[in-house]
Chain A
Amino acid sequence: SQQGEEDPQALSIQEGENATMNCSYKTSINNLQWYRQNSGRGLVHLILIRSNEREKHSGRLRVTLDTSKKSSSLLITASRAADTASYFCAHISNFGNEKLTFGTGTRLTIIP
Chain B
Amino acid sequence: GAGVSQSPSNKVTEKGKDVELRCDPISGHTALYWYRQSLGQGLEFLIYFQGNSAPDKSGLPSDRFSAERTGGSVSTLTIQRTQQEDSAVYLCASSLVWTRTNTEAFFGQGTRLTVV
Which residues of A does B touch, CB under 8 Å?
A: 3, 30-31, 33, 35, 40-45, 48, 50, 88, 90, 92, 97-105
Contact = CB atoms under 8 A, between A and B. Distances in A.
A3 B107 contact: no
21 contacts: A31-B100, A33-B105, A35-B105, A40-B39, A40-B89, A41-B89, A42-B4, A42-B107, A42-B110, A43-B107, A45-B105, A48-B103, A48-B104, A92-B98, A98-B98, A99-B45, A100-B45, A101-B45, A102-B43, A103-B42, A105-B42
Contact of A41 (B31, B105, B109): B109
Nearest to A102: B43
Interface of B: 4, 31, 33, 35, 37, 39, 41-43, 45, 48, 50, 55-56, 58, 89, 91, 93, 98, 100-110
B43 A33 contact: no
| Secondary structure type dominating chain A contacts | strand
Nearest to A31: B103
A30 B56 contact: no
Contacts of A50: 101
Nearest to A91: B103
A100 B89 CA distance: 18
